[in-house]
Structure 1
Amino acid sequence: MRIGVVSTNEVQKALFTELLAPLVGDLIMYDISHAKDGDLEISNAHILLIDMADSNVVECEEVMEALGREEPICLVHDKDLYAMAQRDRISWRNRTIEEIKKALPDLASELDEKKDEADNKNVPDLWIIGASSGGPQALRQFFGDLPRMPISIFVAQHMSEAGYGQMLARLKDVAPGWGVQSAESGMKIKPNSVYLVPRDNTIVINAGVIHLQPYSAQSVSFNPCIDAVIRSVFDCHPHLGVIILSGMGMDGSGGIRTIKGKAKMIMAQDHESSGAKSMPDTARNTGAVQYSANPEGLARKLAQIYGQKTF
């Protein structure tokens, strides 16, 4: 894929390269002298990205003439990337990639793969812990034996609206070696961190940044929906592991069935140690669970995966 950029702004060109080159390869850079010498007419680029935020480009007749030709395809850019926050630059990049995919549909799947790889390059492995009745006690036992590790954990604990603050405080108490926070849109994922998933929401990860998406569960006792969190996170970040702890019902089993054989690992609390047994038992009945133990044993297994020793 050959993408050309027409600009005289060196900062802008550097940001074009930073944002697009990991996905489309090296960019072909053109300035006004190239345009006046006729290089745009004979360019072998599939697409020309015209920097209309650059007044020199706008005032160049040869560049404006290129916009009227059928080849190469021209995309117009009119934003000052330097003035944008990083997440806004990522949003611009994603919109530009969508335009390139429309123009070059045969390369759409390749672009999607490279985008996923680039977005997840510096994001730690993610783990989802799903819990319901008996979950708070299981979480206390689990984190009591869990060392600091370069991963991020999302806790989807069924709770009432009034109990969210109490649950967040409890997590901070039982996981003192971890950065415990309420998951919020715009938050950058950090290693050795625990994020509590709010009610009526699921999680989407975009370039290492959390985005909450509304998702109203059907029952107060199944909120937040563990199945929805598993599916939505896995769709955007395949380096995912899941742990199903004590709980009533079957929430979580649908999510792990969807990612069976694709997740980093799927574990569940064993029958004997679960205060409420149906949720981890139903998870095991899917055939997706690869390891079962009490909460302390699950913590030791997770630490072993990352070469760590438990307390």
Structure 2
Amino acid sequence: MATDMAHSLRSSRSSFGSSNGFETPSHNSFATSNGDDYDSDGSNFAPRGGLAHFIVCATFGLPIIVFCTPNTLSSVMPPELAGAIPSIDKFQVEGFLRAIQKQLNSAGKRGFFSKRTVGAQVREKFTFEDMLCFQKEPIPTSLLKVNSDVISRAVKLFQVILKYIGVDSSDRVSSMSLDERIELVSKLFKHSLKRSELRDELFMQVSKQTRHNPDRHSLIRAWELMYLCASCMPPCKEIGGYLSEYVHTVAHSISNDSEVQALAMNTLNALKRSVKAGPRHTIPGREEIDAVLTGKKLTTIVFFLDETFEEITYDMATTVADAVEVLITLPHMYTYISYLWVAGTISTEKLV
């Protein structure tokens, strides 16, 4: 049986090309057109259609590639993942699942995805859905197709995420101080803010840890991290389209934990703001991260040339343009608006 599977694998792989060491569908085969754009709850994301896509299952240590159209995938994927289907060619599905299988075999384990429980005599079959499910083990490679020079950094991002949400491979859930959490968030931003492909990878890794997470404390931490990421930077349009739909679904599902719903709604609103403003130019300061984590309001003083001033509030996602919009609504401020200067830092220097 293993011989037949190996033969099937070789036949299936004949239509695959290699890019950066990952197996990807040939761009000359299985071409389809999908012109469906979507705009979830007024967001600016519009993912593109693309190639016919595939599911990869790893059985008896061998990957089996099953080619599917987007319509076929829609019928087998849970509703909250439907938004990922038009952008599935951005994920390195086969490479990731093959690496997972190799990691399991070398460790003598049957599986560590939390989606299902596997019986003693049942072999695990890994799919694209599993790839986007919570796991307590480090990932062996990136979720998305990225340049080879950033794969190791993508893997390290996930290790920081695991530490932040308080999970390790021994099934223990650990807690940490606020200062430690702020330090970890700063580390994530430092390594991803300036690289768009790592920003997308970070978003996908964090969202992965929010799906089928069995521990409430860890789940809350994962959504907290999603909110922080969305407040600081936007994903690309394709990944943003999926995230927008997924977060919208979680935020409006009455079956979800109320705290999870609140964090998801905050994340959705932050995504809309960051898409409009673009990524920050500078890494958020300690007090900005602290304010998001603790719900504090940050304030700064705006001085005018007539020696008057106004105090305004801001957060990690606030731009100078946002501050100006607030000021022009205040009585007697319009005359002086073009002469204002701001004492302190208002999140980002970018005017949009």
Normalised TM-score (structure 2): 0.25
**Bigger Rg, structure 1 or 2:** 1
- In terms of fraction of residues, the more helix-rich structure is 2
- In terms of fraction of residues, the more strand-rich structure is 1
Normalised TM-score (structure 1): 0.27
